[in-house]
Chain A
Amino acid sequence: MKTLDIIKPENLVYKRTELMTDNTLSYCPGCGHGTAHKLVMEVIEEMGIVEDTVGVAPVGCSVLAYEFMDIDMQQAAHGRAPAVATAIARTWPNKYVFTYQGDGDLAAIGTAETIHACNRGENIVIIFVNNGIYGMTGGQMAPTTLPGMPSSTSPYGRDTCSTGSPLKITELVANLPGVYNVSRHAVHTHKHVRKAKKAILKGFQDTRLRKGLTLIEIVSNCNSGWKMQPRQSNEWMEENMFPFYELGDIKVDGKMINKK
């Protein structure tokens, strides 16, 4: 007997989406990836589009996303998910296609694929998890690493004189006409989770209108790479990441949002 069988429907306040498999998540305890996965799966379940959805997860901590998301998925080479997704969306115009990419993947090795998929206005949703570091390979510097932030390849802190400043690729692609919605979120509190889910839902709905690409950045923690306790990493994220990577809408329905 499962827990759900003994709970009366009127007493049920939370149910795990059926689109997450029973496999144990490979993510470090406290990492935001699991929550981000769940949100995407909830949206697909609620929209009832599992039969017409294809996901693409490239190399990064979430390379095994297909172990956890109970949908058809392709694993892509490092950085190339937008190209892979482009072809699926072009050859199956009635499908919902999304990518789930890290910041090293999307903003370093895959910059060209990202920008050009955005510029062509591919009808796909990009879920961009920005944890300011290369998680999978053991905490090296990413293009998004904050100034002064230590990593295994910037052990004395990121020196912007020699490595450049953190790349706000989200703001950059928002300016492209092919991009329809751009927003930045977090998933470490209920409030943030609700907002992020709404944006993901809108993104999936808008691909049906064939208006172009939706990019949703999720600023997340990498407690292992940052060498912090999970809770401490969330506090550090609020104090350091959020002032630089401001949360909120950047472009909605093709219109840039003016922030004063």
Chain B
Amino acid sequence: MAEIKLMKGNEALAEAAIRAGVDAYFGYPITPQSEVIEYLMMEQPEKTTGMVVLQAESEVAAINMVYGAAGAGKRVMTSSSSPGISLKQEGISYMAGAELPAVIVNVVRGGPGLGTIQPSQADYFQSVKGGGHGDYKLYVLAPASVQEMADHVEDAFEMAFKYRTPVLILSDGVIGQMMEKVQFKEFKPRWTDDEIYQLHGNWATTGKKKGRERNIITSLDLKSEKMEGRVHRLMKKYAQMEEEDLRFETIKCEDAEYLIVAYGSSARIAQKTVDLARAKGIKVGLLRPITLFPFPKKQLMEFTKQVKGILSVELSMGQMVEDVRLAVEHKVPVEHFGRTGGIIHTPEEILDALQQKLIKN
């Protein structure tokens, strides 16, 4: 009974949210992701599933609304694009500290500053290194298709509640705006009040029931020992994520002599490069991280036994390349290629870069 539709990435994400039993969405318009809130407003899920959709007065308000609903045990999400995500960082840091489950979507555009409304992957550092203040990380999913824009919504909520942590879907203007076929899952009902009391009544602010202690949502510990303990607790979660919930994909890597590492839209483009290279007799494979944190460090190290060099391809001046280098500990040469400012590299440009930077010397 699976429905197949032709949709934009942003719309697919919004539809998937309704179907995933999400309780609330809070957002603020910004290109190239405004279709998310526009779609939700058009669909009026408040009348069908009861999902609350509200246009906030700013991204700052939107992320704090997410904080409030998450702290009350609800499945809640927001989306924005780069400058808006920068504004949300204080709230995201508070959520990481207060250990709140929620989903944040960044449909990245070029920066710094107001930058460009064209696609980019230059928010990698902000996404995987923390972004806001303090010792924390997010679980980061990087969709590379409209199908994944839809699928990652439910995956993200699963992780958010498994670890009680904010999860970021790091998309970009290409994936958000392009139209592709997408297959949706069956509707999943929202949790009832009783289900929330049962599932989250031991931590969420759902009203202090007789016989239990009050529930407090806070990220504040004035005693340093307690604060250090809180951070250690977070680090344990991140270690568990690396053990249990790393996701990646390898394409034509079995006999590869060179490896391209790329995520999101760059991975889609680099897939074509792999074919172009192979037509020329160069054995290239693609490693596509699906999660950017956790990052496939061990897998990259394994590849150093097999490949002569690695090219990190990103729509930026080189951010993920630093993590690739850290992972392989200089065992093989690692180079970066990427266009920026909203320009999208072609498969041919990537192949040229691979040849010039890794094969010729």
Contact = CB atoms under 8 A, between A and B. Distances in A.
Interface in A40-60: 50-54, 56
Given A77-B91, A84-B71, A72 B214 contact: yes
B205 A88 contact: yes
Interface string A111-155: 011001000000000000000000000000000000000000000
Contacts of A84: 64-65, 67-68, 71
Interface string A79-122: 01001111110111001000000000000000011001000000
Given A72-B207, A88-B71, A88-B205, A83 B214 contact: no
B69 A52 contact: no
B218 A54 contact: no
Contacts of B98: 75
Contacts of B332: none
A70 B217 CA distance: 13
B106 to A, nearest CB: 20
A237 B112 CA distance: 48
B68 A56 contact: yes
A221 to B, nearest CB: 24
Contacts of A112: 57-58, 60-61
For the residues of B in contact with A, the DSSP-based class is mixed
Contact of A76 (B67, B74, B208, B210): B67
Contact of A73 (B64, B94, B216): B216
B313 interface: no
Interface in B208-238: 208-210, 214-220
A52 B65 CA distance: 19
A113 B61 contact: yes
Q: Which of B58, B66, B90, B216 has the most CB of A within 10 A?
A: B216
Contacts of B317: none
A71 B214 CA distance: 5
Contacts of A64: 220
Contact of A75 (B90, B91, B209, B217): B217
B208 A75 contact: no
A77 to B, nearest CB: 5
A22 to B, nearest CB: 13
Given A84-B68, A91-B74, A95-B207, A75 B214 contact: no
Nearest to A44: B208
Contacts of A74: 67-68, 71-72, 205, 216-218
B56 interface: yes
Interface in B67-109: 67-69, 71-72, 74, 76, 90-91, 94, 98
A86 B60 CA distance: 13
Contacts of B94: 77
Contacts of A63: 220
Nearest to B54: A90
Contact of A87 (B57, B65, B219): B65
4 closest Cβ pairs, A-B complex: A87-B68, A84-B68, A87-B65, A72-B205
Given A87-B24, A88-B71, 17 more contacts: A50-B208, A51-B207, A54-B205, A54-B207, A64-B220, A69-B214, A70-B208, A71-B208, A73-B216, A74-B71, A77-B90, A80-B67, A83-B68, A84-B64, A86-B68, A87-B74, A91-B24
10 contacts: A50-B207, A66-B216, A71-B214, A72-B206, A73-B216, A83-B62, A84-B67, A90-B24, A90-B52, A91-B23
